């Protein structure tokens, strides 16, 4: 219980540009414990997207180490990173989460195209039921509402039993009521044991997390615990 699932040590990320380099993350240290529901907050330009990309292994840090499940993944090559993304990270993006003209079921099954799990179809169906879309399995993604799309994305994120679920402003396109429903779903999943990292700039959404860190100009400036 409470072992560190993610350890970021002295992470720096520098974007090179002709007009001068941008330091998106500066000497960031962060530990995320198993079973935690962490919210990362901050205004735009604070480095939250960079943080999300590095946590999600979509980008590599300029320096520093990233330990995921006791493995240093900061030196992994493209192929190894793809495998880790597939098996250990579940993504929920703000938009363009689903393949267009593709059924809910096939969208949830998408990670299993790139990695094997036993009985993918049965698992996908039970996850679709869990997010409350039992009757929607054979519907195409473009027939769904914004909230339903995010639910499908959450079901897909759980498909490979990842170590961590990364949600990047998952309710950015939703109204308050639907946003809260999604947060409740995340909370529910968290209670079942999934580790969740939520990126948001809405305080009322961050309140659903167990811990909140605030980023500004590439630094963690504040950390608070919820009861």
Catalog residues that contact other proteins under the rule CB under 8 A: 53, 56, 58-59, 78-79, 82-83, 85-87, 91, 93, 96-97, 99-102, 110-111, 113-115, 156, 160
- In the complex with other proteins, the residue whose CB is nearer, 53 or 187, is 53
Using only the alpha carbons of the chain, give its radius of gyration. 17
Judge contact between 91 and 158, C-beta under 8 A: no
Judge contact between 99 and 153, C-beta under 8 A: no
φ and ψ at residue 95, rounded to 5 degrees: -145, 170
Shortest separation between residue 82's beta carbon and other proteins, angstroms? 4
User: In whole angstroms, what is the distance from residue 128 CA to residue 11 CA?
Assistant: 37
Shortest separation between residue 199's beta carbon and other proteins, angstroms? 14
Shortest separation between residue 156's beta carbon and other proteins, angstroms? 8
- In the complex with other proteins, the residue whose CB is nearer, 35 or 115, is 115
Judge contact between 127 and 108, C-beta under 8 A: yes
Cα angle: 207, vertex 129, 188; to 5 degrees: 20
User: In whole angstroms, what is the distance from residue 97 CA to residue 156 CA?
Assistant: 10
- In the complex with other proteins, the residue whose CB is nearer, 35 or 137, is 137
- In the complex with other proteins, the residue whose CB is nearer, 113 or 221, is 113
Shortest separation between residue 24's beta carbon and other proteins, angstroms? 12
- In the complex with other proteins, the residue whose CB is nearer, 39 or 52, is 52
Shortest separation between residue 143's beta carbon and other proteins, angstroms? 15
Residue listed under structure tokens 């790139």: 114
């Amino acid at each position: 219980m409470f072992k560190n699932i993610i350890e970021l040590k002295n992470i720096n990320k520098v974007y090179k540009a002709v007009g001068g380099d941008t330091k998106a993350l500066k000497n960031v240290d962060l530990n995320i414990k198993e079973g935690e529901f962490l919210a990362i907050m901050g205004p735009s330009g604070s480095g939250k997207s960079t943080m999300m990309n590095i946590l999600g292994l979509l980008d590599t840090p300029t320096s520093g180490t990233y330990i995921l499940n006791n493995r240093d993944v900061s030196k992994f090559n493209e192929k190894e990173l793809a495998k880790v993304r597939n098996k250990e990270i579940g993504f929920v993006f703000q938009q363009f989460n689903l393949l267009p003209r593709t059924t809910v079921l096939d969208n949830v099954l998408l990670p299993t195209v790139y990695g094997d799990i036993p009985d993918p179809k049965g698992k996908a169906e039970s996850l679709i039921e869990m997010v409350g879309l039992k009757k929607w399995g054979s519907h195409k993604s473009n027939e769904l509402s914004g909230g339903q799309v995010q639910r499908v994305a959450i079901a897909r994120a759980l498909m490979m039993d990842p170590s961590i679920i990364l949600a990047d402003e998952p309710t950015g396109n939703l109204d308050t009521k639907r946003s809260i429903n999604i947060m409740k779903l995340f909370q529910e999943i968290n209670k079942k044991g999934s580790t969740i990292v939520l990126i948001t700039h809405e305080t009322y959404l961050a309140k659903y997390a167990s811990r909140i860190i605030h980023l500004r100009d590439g630094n963690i400036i504040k950390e608070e615990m919820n009861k």
